[in-house]
Structure 1
Amino acid sequence: MNAFQLFKAEMGKLAEKKTVLISVVLMLLVPLTYAAILLSSKAGPRDNIDNLPVAVVNNDKGAELNGSQIQVGDDLVKELKASKTLGWEFVTSEEADRGIKDNKYYMVVEIPEDFSENVTSVLEPSPKKAQLKFRQNEGLHFMGATVTDSAIETIKAQLNTKVTETYTKTLFAQLGQVNDGFKEAADGSKQINDGSGQLKDGTGQILTSLNEKSADIAKLADGAKQLNAGTGELLNNLKGKSGDINKLAAGAQELNAGTGTLLNSLTGKSGDINKLAAGAQELNAGTGQLVQALTDQQGDVAKLINGAKTLETGANTLNAGAGEVLNGLKGAKVGSEKLYAGLTQQLIPGSQQLAAGVAEAKIGVEESINQMKELRDGLLRINQAVLEGSPIKQTLNQMITMLNQSLADEVVNAKQAKLEQLKQGAEKLRDGLDVEKGDFGKGLVSLNSGLNALVDGQTRVSEGANQLAQGAAQVSFGNQQLVGTLATNAKKLHAGATQIKDGNVQVANGWKELTVGATALHAGTTQIKDGNAQVASGWSQLTAGATKLHDGSSQISNGNQSVKEGWTQLTDGVTQVDEGLLKLKDGSSELMTGLQGGAESTEQLKVSDNNIKMFAEPVDVDSEVLNAYPYYRDSNAPYILSLALFVGVLIMSLVVSFEKPAVAPASGLALFAGKTLKLGVLAIIQAIVLSLFVLFGLGMHVENGVMLILFSIFVSLTFLMIVLFLVAAAGNIGRFIALAFILLQVQTTGTSLPIDMLPESIRTLSNFLPLTYSIDAFRNIIILGDLGSVFADMFILLIYLAVFAVLAFIVFTVKYKNHADTSDEQPQLTT
């Protein structure tokens, strides 16, 4: 059968049963229903925003500016009450805190106490910015937070305008004071001009006197300079020799100090020398006692050696026993670990599987009972339709009787009770073996942990026993060496101590003789020191007198030189002052003229309220909106229409068969063509119904209505090819892939955000998704009117249509052999 005949058969099967026909009609209305629900409302996201509750707290105490009281907070409250931008509620701080805590308010606007005061600080050295506090409860709704964000900017702009007006009024008020200052300054500059003329006459007389006395001042400075040179030569001669005198006195003093130190050291250490000699004698006596004690205690040392050997033998025995205990505990630990592994790897998973299996079996039995009840109810309905006395009715009665006996309450309850007991027993077994909940599992974990602790402890005991055995052997060996060397070394120590005693006696005698000689040497150096100190003192006094003389002459010379230079500078300064006073007189005259002109200019400056408003709001925005949407729904229409057509095709795959033919086809091409023609007609009807509803049912404004109908048909056919390929290739899995495919495109094709605002990776992905181009084309058809962009989008979608049509044709050709023997198919509503 060729493709056209197959198409006629497919369409004929759809009209055979009313239930199937009704299902198809309802399926064709799915896109219309979808669009009607989402596009009927004309409300926008910013409609009714005056219902959003926003609390306003005015704590502003006001302030005084140039003698006038200002209340910026009260002015803002009046403006908010007059506006309907949001649902303003004017409350106290406590009510606002409680309301935002209870999620009553979307935002709280708080005007602080010092708001007006900070506004008036504009002309202060450290002005303060007026701060308005906002608290948003974004968790109530993100769109609500967006609306309150724009309200914040509006309030900020209003306050900026208000503050600028206040600043401007203050500034122009100050300009009035500047005018008065200009007048006063002009009067003062006239007085300065008169006084500078009188001052110049006086400086001329002073300059004449200074020039006459300058020659006498120069002679006085030269004589003082010669006197200073003579006293300088005298002072240099005295200072040249003072170093040698000081070195002589210092050397004598160091020599005396050295001999004193030597004498003190000899005298101070004589007691230590005597103690050293006495200590050497005590050392000699002590070493003798040590030698005698070692000789007397040889018997006790032998006992110590024998005891150390006994300790070594016991330590070895203890070490061997500890090793045997450790090996036994390790064996018990291995057994416990095997038991724990069997529990966790086999018993516990097995018990869990058993409990799960019993639970599944219980569910399966309950499902079988429900299915038997449904079968009984179905047989009852069939039985009512069968004539009395027929063999079929007798058979049906027998089957219904058997089912009633099997579904009796006592039988069903008994089976369910046994299954419940079996389920509880399996769960108890599973819980008892659980290592965290069951007693057996917990006990096995505790046993395993205890054995691990015992093994670790016995390991440390074994190591300690081994160390004890080694230490005992070392003690035994050391005692033997000690007995051999202690006596010999003690005798050597006694002999050395005797030699030290004799040497220290000789040192004590020599030290006494050295102390006597040092005493005589120190007496001679003391006399030398005293003589040189007197010479140095006299030389210092002579130098000090010459220094004072030279300082005095230097002061005279410097003073006269300073007088000479100062007289010259004074003459030059008076000359400059005289010239400056002439300039001052000319400048003050110009200043007086300028200040008078400034006073006249500022006096002409008159400012009105209109001027102040111009300063506060110098810019007006002349804005124009191109291609504006009549309603908010129109902006979502491209996305809703694309999604409605795709969902309509997907629902179609559940109502109408996408795979099996109504009759046996002649070829794979005939099978593909027949199915495509039938499904294409349904897809076209869906698109036309949807387009007409949008144009006439919703009355939506569209730039090109004919293009809307044609493009809707084109998009519907494109989506049909995509779904046809997926369903024909994978059945229900293909439907799931189609659903996932459309969900993937919801946030990646410019629905909630423009594609340009998406991350780079998602922007790249959107270039390969068909919804991107269907949405863009619908947007151009509905509002932008750019047919060039529409045809560009249709070209991309045509590629999708062709590619998936080819893929679907390949799938139908491959499956043709499996469908070769199929002669009939009853399309039915699948669930």
Structure 2
Amino acid sequence: MNAIITLFVGDLKRITSNVVSIIIVIGLVTIPGLFSWFNIAASWDPFSNTGNLKFAVASVDEGYQSDLIPVKITVGDSVVNALRANSQLDWTFTTESDAIDGTKSGEYYAAVIIPKDFSEKMMTFFTADTVSHAKLTYYTNEKANALAPKVTGQGADQVAAQVNETFAQTIAGTALSIASSLLDRLDDPQAAQMIGSFTTKIADFADDLDDTAAMLTMYGTLTDSAGSLMSSSVELIDTASGSAADVKSQVDSAKSGAATVSDALASASDTMTDALKTSANSFDAVSNSIDDVYASASKSSDDLAASLAAQAANVDRQRAQYQSIRDTVAALDPATTIGSDAQSTLLDGLDRVIARQTALRDALNDAASDLTSKTADATAKRQQIKDLADQAKASVTSVQSDFNKSLKPQIDALTSSVNDLAGTLTSGSTSAADAIDGLRDTADSAGTKLADVKTTLNETAATLTAASAKLSDFSTKMKDALNSGDMAQVRDLLGSDTDATAATLAAPVQLKRKAIFPVANFGSSLAPLYTFLPLWVGSLLMAVTLKTSVSRRVRDGLETAIGRPVRPHELYLGHYGVFATIALLQSTVSCGGTLLFMRIQAVHPWLFMLDGWMSSLVYSFFAYTMVASFGNVGKAIGVLYLVVQICGSGAAYPLQILPDFVGALSPWLPVTHSVTMVRAAIAGIYANDYWIALERLLLFVPPLLLLGLVLRKPLIGFNKWYVAQVESTKLL
């Protein structure tokens, strides 16, 4: 340690021993700071000077006027007038040819041309079935400057935004102008006739809304009936103990909820279809169970009679639900739903189902009664019940087919009108017992979902009814006003909502910005780039200007002073002392001047200084070790690191927008971690990010020590050979 300190003190004396060496040290100390201050000052707030960029605007818009809109609208002129008050760019309003030629020559950085049909295309939603986008033509001179096209591109966005704002205001003003024009022309008989026709159409539309509301209410009632039918079918299958392996997946489709009107309609349609399928399968279960009932010799006749009576009761409940469905279908207006022929066919089928269910119910009850009285007719009823069950199934299947051909397409069509389709959930059943249990759970769940379906349909129907009432009220008042000949009443009705219309069309959307870790200015944002890359350059300049080896004369004097031979590691560490001293002076002057003179933002100024001190020590130790170990090759390595760190450190561009290999290299670059630290010092620390980055920066020191203290010795022979080869050229 004594040798290291002695060598360090001697180097300080020698470097300050004459004027030339002092001037060199002063230059090494101040160059990084000058580099930083100049660039930070130049980048302090460049975007406040965008008003100096010439941006040409030329409008050849011919305007728009139609029979519907008696006011001529020229959006291009309105945009030009609005931009005249905007100072964010140097807007130059000129002709189309001058704008294009000026952009080519470099007189303008960019130009926007508003074409002849601009207003016409912007107003196409008044005149065309499909809206056509209005287009601006944007010219930019990308040769003039690298960043100017990006800045002027923002100017083009400003023009587009100004167009949108102006258009909204124009539409609002146009709406008011049209209303005012109509009010002024109300005394014209032709205007009164047009208003009368308009009023009639409103009344017709109100009637259509009423019809739709009534239809939705009918579908809600139909959904109720389908839910009840489903429950009774499951009870019948349960009682008959029949196989229902594929029924569960059909019933489960009712679980597709009804958050929207289209979901509700789809659920109603699918649920009705599935309920009919389930009902048909239930009669299969009745038919299949009859043989089991009569074959159960071990059971008493009373038990068998009770089983048959239970089945009869379930069949009767189904019959009641089919009667409810029939009543609902009969109440539908065939003109607006399925048509009279289809409705008649469906009603006939439902009547057959009800009749056969009644016969099946009576047969089951008669069989139960015969078993109870132990009459000989009981066995004869067996085949009759099976035949009636098969007939009931055939009738239900026929009704299902009629439903699918007539009413279901109408429901599906209404569903598609709100642009949604219902989905169906499917699931399997592993056994007959599981299917029956699942059917019971599904029926309970379906009941809840179908209640939601009905609620949604009824709420929508109520909304449509309310809208219809408002339109009908307006239509009635307008007709009364026109019939009375009192144009003052008409003016009041037409003029009452013009302000609301204008506000709706021109409603602005505001963006509220809230910065996280705010930075006061652009200069402070670029301070990481323009502070730590100069410190790296300063370290390279030291390695180039100062010797990294100790001369024979100095070594002999050191050995005389300590009274023993000096060791290589003492020379290596002791001579680095002067590099470390100059590096600390560089970072103190650069970072201190940035804080005191440039007045950049720093939430933690002392951490800003600590970052500078630690970074300059690591940078200088890197340059010193590379040159001491590899000679001129080490200098080239330092320059290579400088080149890579300009973009790879993330000090300028976000790493996420750069090529992947740059992001992969970034953690292996010292400046990357210095930049992370200084940003935390400037804007604020989050989750110890400053200290984590400091630890990562210091991780570069151990490999450098390993290279300088251990691996450098085998490289001495290589360096001597390299120097000899270079000197042999007589040029290097």
TM superposition score normalised by structure 1 = 0.47
Superposition pairs of residues 731-770 of structure 1, within 5 angstroms: 731-770=631-670
Paired positions, count = 423
Matched, 1:599 2:602: no
Given candidates 693, 697, 700, the residue that maps to 1:800 is 700
CA contact (8 A) 1:727 1:734 kept: yes
Given candidates 155, 164, 170, the residue that maps to 2:168 is 164
Identical aligned residues as a percent: 22
| 1:76-108 C-alpha deviation (Å, 9 max, x unpaired) | 110111111211111122222321232222112
Matched, 1:107 2:7: no
Which residue is 1:663 aligned to? Answer: 555
Given candidates 186, 189, 197, the residue that maps to 1:181 is 197
Which residue is 2:588 aligned to? Answer: 688
Residue 773 to residue 813, structure 1, CA distance change in 2 (3 Å):
same
Measure, in 2, the Cα distance between the counterparts of 1:81 and 1:674: 68
Superposition pairs of residues 405-444 of structure 1, within 5 angstroms: none
Which residue is 1:155 aligned to? Answer: 159
| 1:518-557 C-alpha deviation (Å, 9 max, x unpaired) | xxxxxxxxxxxxxxxxxxxxxxxxxxxxxxxxxxxxxxxx
Which residue is 1:123 aligned to? Answer: 126
Measure, in 2, the Cα distance between the counterparts of 1:694 and 1:759: 32
Matched, 1:93 2:109: no
Given candidates 74, 79, 91, the residue that maps to 1:76 is 79
Letter matched to residue 607 of structure 1: D
3-state secondary structure, aligned to 1:750: coil
Residue 765 to residue 620, structure 1, CA distance change in 2 (3 Å):
same
Letter matched to residue 19 of structure 1: V
Shift of 1:56: 1.5
Residue 185 to residue 122, structure 1, CA distance change in 2 (3 Å):
closer
3-state secondary structure, aligned to 1:756: helix
The structure in which a higher percent of residues are helix is 1
Which residue is 1:336 aligned to? Answer: none
Superposition pairs of residues 174-323 of structure 1, within 5 angstroms: 180-181=196-197, 183-184=199-200
3-state secondary structure, aligned to 1:690: helix
Matched, 1:138 2:28: no
Residue 608 to residue 143, structure 1, CA distance change in 2 (3 Å):
farther
Residue 720 to residue 47, structure 1, CA distance change in 2 (3 Å):
same
CA contact (8 A) 1:636 1:751 kept: yes
Which residue is 2:521 aligned to? Answer: 631
Shift of 1:652: 1.1
Measure, in 2, the Cα distance between the counterparts of 1:713 and 1:694: 14
Q: Which has the higher contact order (CA 8 A, sep 6+)?
A: 1
Residue 185 to residue 169, structure 1, CA distance change in 2 (3 Å):
same
CA contact (8 A) 1:44 1:632 kept: yes
Shift of 1:188: 10
Letter matched to residue 588 of structure 2: I
Shift of 1:608: 4.2
Measure, in 2, the Cα distance between the counterparts of 1:39 and 1:64: 54
Which residue is 2:533 aligned to? Answer: 643
Letter matched to residue 650 of structure 2: G
Letter matched to residue 640 of structure 1: Y
Deviates more, 1:656-665 or 1:710-719: 656-665
Shift of 1:780: 0.9
Residue 142 to residue 71, structure 1, CA distance change in 2 (3 Å):
same
| 1:800-829 C-alpha deviation (Å, 9 max, x unpaired) | 02211221223565689999xxxxxxxxxx
Measure, in 1, the Cα distance between the counterparts of 2:583 and 2:203: 97
Which residue is 1:826 aligned to? Answer: none
| 1:95-153 C-alpha deviation (Å, 9 max, x unpaired) | 22321232222112111122222233322234443222211112212311111222222
CA contact (8 A) 1:781 1:787 kept: no
Which residue is 2:4 aligned to? Answer: 3
Residue 183 to residue 638, structure 1, CA distance change in 2 (3 Å):
closer
Shift of 1:769: 1.4
| 1:140-198 C-alpha deviation (Å, 9 max, x unpaired) | 12311111222222221222233334445667859999864354469999xxxxxxxxx
Letter matched to residue 50 of structure 1: G
Measure, in 2, the Cα distance between the counterparts of 1:703 and 1:186: 65
Shift of 1:649: 1.2
Residue 810 to residue 113, structure 1, CA distance change in 2 (3 Å):
same
Given candidates 507, 522, 526, the residue that maps to 1:617 is 507
Which residue is 1:809 aligned to? Answer: 709
Matched, 1:784 2:684: yes
| 1:14-52 C-alpha deviation (Å, 9 max, x unpaired) | 122221122122212222222222223364231221111
Residue 592 to residue 726, structure 1, CA distance change in 2 (3 Å):
closer
Measure, in 2, the Cα distance between the counterparts of 1:615 and 1:104: 39
Residue 115 to residue 652, structure 1, CA distance change in 2 (3 Å):
same
3-state secondary structure, aligned to 1:110: strand
| 1:747-800 C-alpha deviation (Å, 9 max, x unpaired) | 122133111222222211212211111111111111233471111111111110
Residue 732 to residue 816, structure 1, CA distance change in 2 (3 Å):
closer
Residue 22 to residue 787, structure 1, CA distance change in 2 (3 Å):
farther
Shift of 1:726: 1.0
Residue 73 to residue 2, structure 1, CA distance change in 2 (3 Å):
same
CA contact (8 A) 2:535 2:586 kept: yes
Measure, in 2, the Cα distance between the counterparts of 1:162 and 1:598: 32
Measure, in 2, the Cα distance between the counterparts of 1:187 and 1:47: 58
Letter matched to residue 197 of structure 2: G
Find the structure with the greater CA-based Rg.
1
Measure, in 2, the Cα distance between the counterparts of 1:816 and 1:753: 40
CA contact (8 A) 1:183 1:596 kept: no
Measure, in 2, the Cα distance between the counterparts of 1:610 and 1:162: 18
Shift of 1:725: 1.4
CA contact (8 A) 2:580 2:621 kept: no
3-state secondary structure, aligned to 1:746: helix
CA contact (8 A) 2:622 2:704 kept: yes
Letter matched to residue 146 of structure 2: F
3-state secondary structure, aligned to 1:134: strand
Matched, 1:13 2:17: no
Superposition pairs of residues 492-571 of structure 1, within 5 angstroms: none
Measure, in 2, the Cα distance between the counterparts of 1:95 and 1:594: 56
Residue 765 to residue 170, structure 1, CA distance change in 2 (3 Å):
same
Residue 186 to residue 151, structure 1, CA distance change in 2 (3 Å):
closer
Which residue is 1:446 aligned to? Answer: none
Measure, in 1, the Cα distance between the counterparts of 2:471 and 2:9: 106
Which residue is 2:600 aligned to? Answer: 700
Measure, in 1, the Cα distance between the counterparts of 2:523 and 2:57: 33
Letter matched to residue 655 of structure 2: I
Residue 592 to residue 97, structure 1, CA distance change in 2 (3 Å):
closer
Residue 20 to residue 185, structure 1, CA distance change in 2 (3 Å):
closer
Residue 748 to residue 179, structure 1, CA distance change in 2 (3 Å):
farther
Shift of 1:728: 0.5
| 1:198-231 C-alpha deviation (Å, 9 max, x unpaired) | xxxxxxxxxxxxxxxxxxxxxxxxxxxxxxxxxx
Superposition pairs of residues 361-380 of structure 1, within 5 angstroms: none
Shift of 1:75: 0.7
3-state secondary structure, aligned to 1:626: coil
CA contact (8 A) 1:122 1:167 kept: no
Measure, in 2, the Cα distance between the counterparts of 1:750 and 1:188: 66
Q: What RMSD over aligned residues (CA atoms) do the two structures have, in Å?
A: 3.5
CA contact (8 A) 1:9 1:663 kept: no
Letter matched to residue 511 of structure 2: V
Measure, in 2, the Cα distance between the counterparts of 1:668 and 1:187: 104
TM superposition score normalised by structure 2 = 0.53
CA contact (8 A) 2:106 2:141 kept: yes
Shift of 1:67: 1.4
